[in-house]
A and B are shown apart, each in its own frame.
Chain A
Amino acid sequence: MTAVTTEYPSKAKSSSLWKSLRSILASQEAILAITLLALVVLVGAANPRFLAERNMSDVLQGNAYIAVAAIGMSMVIVSGNIDISIGSAIGVLATMCGLIATETELPVIFSWLLPLLGGALIGAINGFFVAYLRIPSIVVTLGMLSILKGGLIVYRGGETIYNLPPDFGLAQLRPLGIPSPVWFMIVLTVLAALWMRYSATGRSIYAVGGNKEAAMLSGINIRSVIMKVFIINGVFAGISAVLYATQFTSIQAVVPPGLELSIITASVVGGVSILGGTGTVIGSTLAAVLLRAIGSSMVFINVSPYWLRAVQGVLILITVLADILRRRQLRRH
């Protein structure tokens, strides 16, 4: 091989260090963290009440259930799919959670665990249609959305569940003084991030989303990867539903309007490429917190909170634009 090799200019160590530092700073996660910090500092300066412990706790806690659901959603999107039934699934699973607690004699822990199983089942059905019958996920989950949403209305007629048992409020617990939803959000995000990055299956999810055909030719079982992703997503929807259901003293048995959009927004703004193959759950969690922080800021600087949706929209457009520009730069080498 020596006869034909050419010299390759070896880059100086310092420049590659700078390069990696720069690429970390340019990552979506870093941008979100910096934006979040800047927002807190600026709004805090404008109105110090924003920094009150009570409000900071609300900023962290308020979107925790969205962040948890966005973990699963991010995996689905990284794999090159999408799940628009997730909001309806959370509505159904939250109702299931409340009904198990009020209408059965089962210990309260079952009302927390069975929705996870229910979520896994919904995910398995979605996954089966996408992976084995090869129907585009947007169509499958659109169908699932209508079934769940319609089913819930027929079954419960939108009535509210009261009389929840006293020990039911999982989301109201505060271990070590920190609200339990925040614990769930942080622990699950870290575990999922490690699993996505370092496990063989996590790697396969990126491979399938990045280039399905190349992944298949590399011996990766695409069907099983997609199936797993949807089941995991269902479980996270279940956890999210339990956090949602147990935060107050009653549960309204309807699908929270626009919930799937908030979750998808967290993933996309978190840097998960809508085209599949890139993104992390750390990004989506940071984005979920950032969106809550923006909503909260609006109150403190006297902007109508109705602007929140518009701001979310702008953030989505900016993020997707940045993603596309990044891809273009990659392509032209």
Chain B
Amino acid sequence: MQPLLELRNISKSFPGVQALSKAQFEVREGEVHALLGENGAGKSTMIKLISGLYRPDEGEILLQGQPVVFHNPRDAQAAGVATIYQELSLYPELTVAENIFMGHAPRNRFGMVDWGAMRQRARELLASLNIHDMDVDRKVGTMTVGNRQRVEIAKALSMNARILIMDEPTAALTEADVQQLFEIVRLLRERGVAIIYISHRLEEVFLLADRVTVLRDGQYVGTKPVKETREDELISMMVGRTIHNLFPKLPAQVGEPVLEVENVWRKPDVRGVTLTVRAGEIVGLAGLVGSGRSEFAQVVFGISPADSGTIRVNGKRVEIKSPADALKLGIAYVPEDRGTQGLIRQMNIRENVSLAVLRDIARNTFVNRKAERSLAERMIEQLSIRAYSSDQVVNKLSGGNQQKVVVSKWLASKPRLLIMDEPTRGIDVGAKAEIHRLISELAQQGMAILMISSELPEIMGMSDRILVMRGGTIVAEYSRDRATQEIIAAAMMSEAAPETIVPGNAATFESAAL
């Protein structure tokens, strides 16, 4: 069968970087073809070549066997290529229908926008995706991420897309939205659309894709039918070596409680949370997006202080009104989004790492440069940050190494409690295993760790204890040996089995459910 789109011997370089080198890729009609690789493997470059943002230095792109050149995204669109990026590109102030037909609205015979026809066709398009409950006159900015993504897909179809590129489409979705997205993808596949699917989550590849192509360091590693491969094979293709253990959990001595939270409220998202994290213990906090887990972390770190309830640190009752207060108490917080919350991009590694301890390493108002440099170098060593020196600007590091810089910043403050929100989101498998190893070692050294994650394998692989949040409160608790993916997922989404509900939280859980 002739591929719909084929890339042959494609090379592309940027100043100082060979992003792709003689790589190849193809996708057929009615196929979901997953594109895998660590960060920096060349996936983004390949997508940008297909969608007309870049032109290859070498090699050719064939559409139905015919060589084509995309000079710009418009050419690619005309050829039927549509791309759904991680950051959705919709206009929040415009309606669903206006967004779908942006740039190609139906006109009436006076050359004006035919609003009636536009709404009608928008409804038809959405209906063809089995979406029947969306108001086409609603402003996109008021909708959930999942719904916005559906609008984006409808927009692609309105331009008669034959090739749909989806770049990490599930990164920001809740579980229910993910399910609906999968249904839409399957529907499109049946209709003959060729789908290029990029994701860091291997389980999605196995659920959804027909074939998978792996890139590494800008080079083509191989293509496999999904049915004939296994997770560990794909991982070793991606990293070029065998990862022995993605979740290297070490046994640790669990000690005294470091954080004790009792019935803490912060409306509207945190509704009566009670939990304890002990020294040496890794507590995994699971929950859907919107369950209040990140908001709870922000309460403990003082970003949005608690309305009521008590927080104890090392047995002493405390008031945490700002991140500075939290820092003084030995609490550190690795935020969910390292780009907007973790790093200062213009600064180098050294300056980022010392940021949370500036006052401590500054003597008489001036920063002690020697201490700062040795701190940064120690962290680079301890976390194996790949950089040529501590003076390297963080923007030029890979995602995994950036995350290590953020973690370093917090380790520099020598915390007793480390809160990590999605510690490995969007980073490649190799760096993931390293960060897991680090978390494990920190717990072994007696640090208390509260880890929030959307990835159940990570929660289950790393935690001593697993707490599930829903509706702003803790609804279930499992010990490491009793947890299974199924019961955690069930507790996240709906009524947990009664005996697994933590007794102390039962009352608040019921009131929250009203």
Contact = CB atoms under 8 A, between A and B. Distances in A.
A8 B356 CA distance: 28
Contact of B355 (A16, A201, A218, A331): A218
Interface in B359-399: 359, 362, 365-367, 369, 384, 386, 388-389, 393, 395-397
B14 A332 contact: yes
Nearest to A4: B433
A132 B203 CA distance: 47
Interface string A1-35: 10111101011000010000000000000000000
Interface string A112-147: 000000000000000000000000000000000000
A206 B393 CA distance: 14
B345 to A, nearest CB: 7
Given A217-B333, A219-B327, A330 B393 contact: yes
Interface string B275-314: 0000000000000000000000000010100000000000
B365 A207 contact: no
B430 A200 contact: no
Contacts of A198: 366-367, 369
B340 A213 contact: yes
A6 B239 CA distance: 9
Given A199-B362, A200-B358, A278-B346, A217 B341 contact: yes
B445 to A, nearest CB: 14
A333 B437 contact: no
Given A5-B434, A219-B327, A333-B396, A214 B342 contact: yes
Nearest to B335: A217
Contacts of B430: 4, 6
A213 B395 CA distance: 17
Contacts of A203: 351, 355, 358, 367
B88 interface: no
A22 to B, nearest CB: 12
A199 B366 contact: yes
Interface string A316-333: 000000000000011111
A220 B355 contact: yes
B341 A16 contact: no
Given A199-B362, A201-B365, A217-B335, A277 B344 contact: yes
Dominant SS among interface residues on chain B: mixed
B143 interface: no
A211 interface: yes
A215 B343 CA distance: 8
A211 B340 contact: yes
Interface in B302-350: 303, 322-324, 326-327, 333, 335, 340-347
A6 B241 contact: yes
B250 interface: no
A215 B344 CA distance: 8
B227 interface: no
B365 A200 contact: yes
B409 interface: yes
A262 interface: no
A216 B409 CA distance: 13
Contacts of A211: 340, 343-345
Contact of B388 (A5, A10, A210, A277): A10
Nearest to B354: A203
Nearest to A208: B344
A210 B340 contact: no
B243 interface: yes
A329 to B, nearest CB: 8
Contact of A218 (B340, B346, B409): B409
Interface centre among B340, B342, B355, B430 (most CB of A within 10 A): B355
A206 B347 contact: yes
A13 to B, nearest CB: 10
Given A10-B388, A200-B358, A219-B324, A206 B344 contact: yes
Contacts of B395: 330-331, 333
Nearest to A20: B391
A146 to B, nearest CB: 31
A204 interface: yes
A269 B245 CA distance: 53
Contacts of A8: 386
Contact of A214 (B341, B358, B369): B341
Interface in B221-243: 239-241, 243
B438 interface: yes
Contacts of A104: none
A221 interface: yes
A69 to B, nearest CB: 24
A216 to B, nearest CB: 6
29 contacts: A1-B434, A4-B437, A8-B386, A16-B389, A198-B367, A198-B369, A199-B362, A199-B367, A200-B365, A201-B365, A203-B351, A203-B358, A206-B344, A207-B347, A207-B351, A210-B345, A213-B340, A214-B344, A215-B344, A217-B303, A218-B355, A218-B409, A219-B327, A219-B356, A277-B346, A330-B393, A330-B395, A330-B396, A333-B17
CB-CB nearest 6 A-B residue pairs: A200-B362, A210-B344, A219-B327, A219-B324, A218-B355, A8-B386
Interface of B: 14-15, 17, 239-241, 243-245, 301, 303, 322-324, 326-327, 333, 335, 340-347, 351, 355-356, 358-359, 362, 365-367, 369, 384, 386, 388-389, 393, 395-397, 409, 430, 433-434, 437-438
Given A5-B384, A207-B355, A329-B15, 6 more contacts: A4-B430, A11-B388, A211-B340, A213-B340, A214-B342, A218-B356
Interface of A: 1, 3-6, 8, 10-11, 16, 198-201, 203-204, 206-207, 210-211, 213-221, 277-278, 329-333
